Each structure stands twice: as C-alpha cells, then as structure tokens.
Homo-oligomer: A and B are copies of this chain.
C-alpha cells in the first residue's frame, strides 16, 4: 500500500509567520500523497475581542455559541485556510482548502449535553474518503481546518487533533497512514522545563504509568488519547514533535506504539 502522510500543525505554528512559512516550505517538498490539518491559534480569540464577542470557556474547553461558530468559520476556514492554500500554491504544492462540509468529508453530531452544553461542537461520526481520494489520486493536497458538519446544513467546531486522527483512521484501509502532530516542542516532555527531555516512545503500558506519575497531564492527555485511538485503529505510525523530524535525521521526537 502507498503511504499517506497526515500532518496536523498547532496554533503555535499558525501564529508564527516564520514557523509557518518554514513548515510549509518543507511540507510542500514531501513526496507522495499528503494531507494537512491546521488548528486555529490565537486569531479567533483576537477577532472575538475586536468584535466584543465573549469567548466562553469551561475546563479549558471553548463553548461554541452561534457568534463564536461564525468567528471560527471566518478565521479557520477563511483567513487561515485560504492563506495556507495560497502559500502552498506559491510552493508548487497544488492544494484545496477543506472543512468537513466540503466533499461531505467529515460528518459529525452535536456533542451530547451532559454537565456542559458545548454548543456547536461536533463529535465525528463518519469520514467519507471518496472525494478526497479523487483529489489525492490527482496529486492534490487537501488542507483541513477544524470545522465539520452534520449533513443537515449545520457547521460544527471540531477539535483539530481529532480531525487528523479520524482522517488517518478513515484512510487506513486504502493507504498505509502515518499521523504526525506538530507543535513547538520537540515531543512529549518528561520535564516541561527541559526541552530535551523528550520521551521517545510511549506505549499503552508506559502511557498509563506516565499518567499515574503525573508526568503526562492536562492538554497532552486528549492529544495522546487521539494518538492511541489512531494506533489502535490501523494507523501505522503516530508521532508527536517538531516538524524537523520529517527533514532532519538526528531530531528527537515521540513515537506512539501499541
């Protein structure tokens, strides 16, 4: 099977012009089919401030009311996505911007209300690879923002890490899928204050231990849950770290194993 690389870049890369341009320059040169997923960074919060729309958070999770969904759709699918696509075209990487509504590629359902009503937040139900495959077969690179739809006309805010892992799982029957989570750190760190304390391998057993010891906590937990979900569903490789891992043989990063 051919290899499909699915790469997710986080807000710290999006928010830093140089980091973004450097990443895209490398990404554009990657051979073979590939797919990019980007987060939103701080731009949505900045726009909400300017528009005097209050950003509601609960336990560090954004509550997406109608105004916030509009802002996210404008910033993620509009400004960030189209500028990335334009930059990739300048690098001779033929790309098309996607939300989950485009090509009906990611269908989600409104997150069920338990203690918290997250508002217009979608949990992914189904990935449709048909239209995406047509594009990949024609050397086109889809670029996904973190928006899905319910197939009934409603857009939803959806976690970009989850979009990346569900896409990787969705393609795992047709491609050998490799999933890369890129952020500003070199990998999952044992000591947050020591950038060189990268944990090079995490498996199901050591993951449990790291959680028990409090070494892996907070925002890293949902990211790693996405990684294990992917590796348990036929994704052949899952890595977390800095984009350098793709281009430098001696760079350290974290690999997730069963």
Within 8 A of B (CB), among A91-142: 94-99, 101-104, 131, 134-135, 138, 140
- The answer, yes or no, to whether A221 is at the interface (CB within 8 Å) is no
CA distance A134 to B138 in the complex (A): 8
Residues on B with beta carbons closer than 8 Å to the beta carbon of A135: 131, 134-135
Per a CB cutoff under 8 Å, which of B70, B85, B149, B151 touches A102?
Answer: B85
Residues on B with beta carbons closer than 8 Å to the beta carbon of A83: 73, 155
CA distance A140 to B142 in the complex (A): 15
Per a CB cutoff under 8 Å, which of B74, B86, B90, B153 touches A75?
Answer: B74
Tell me the smallest distance from the CB of A20 to a CB of chain B, in Å.
11
- The answer, yes or no, to whether A78 is at the interface (CB within 8 Å) is yes
- The answer, yes or no, to whether A237 is at the interface (CB within 8 Å) is no
Copies in the complex: 2
- Residue on B with the closest CB to A99? B82
CA distance A149 to B95 in the complex (A): 13
- Residue on B with the closest CB to A128? B94
Q: Does the CB pair A94–B103 fall under 8 Å?
A: yes
Give the A interface residue count (CB, 8 A).
42
Residues on B with beta carbons closer than 8 Å to the beta carbon of A174: none
CA distance A101 to B94 in the complex (A): 9
Residues on B with beta carbons closer than 8 Å to the beta carbon of A152: 90
CA distance A140 to B104 in the complex (A): 10
CA distance A74 to B239 in the complex (A): 32
Q: Does the CB pair B131–A140 fall under 8 Å?
A: yes
Contact flags A152-191 to B (C-beta < 8 A → 1, else 0) = 1111000000000000000000000000000000000000
CA distance A90 to B152 in the complex (A): 4
Residues on B with beta carbons closer than 8 Å to the beta carbon of A101: 82, 85-86, 89, 97
Residues on B with beta carbons closer than 8 Å to the beta carbon of A85: 99, 101-102
Residues on B with beta carbons closer than 8 Å to the beta carbon of A74: 47, 74-75, 78-79
CA distance A154 to B89 in the complex (A): 10
Q: Does the CB pair A86–B140 fall under 8 Å?
A: no
A-B contact pairs, 5 of them (CB 8 A): A47-B74, A96-B131, A97-B102, A131-B140, A135-B135
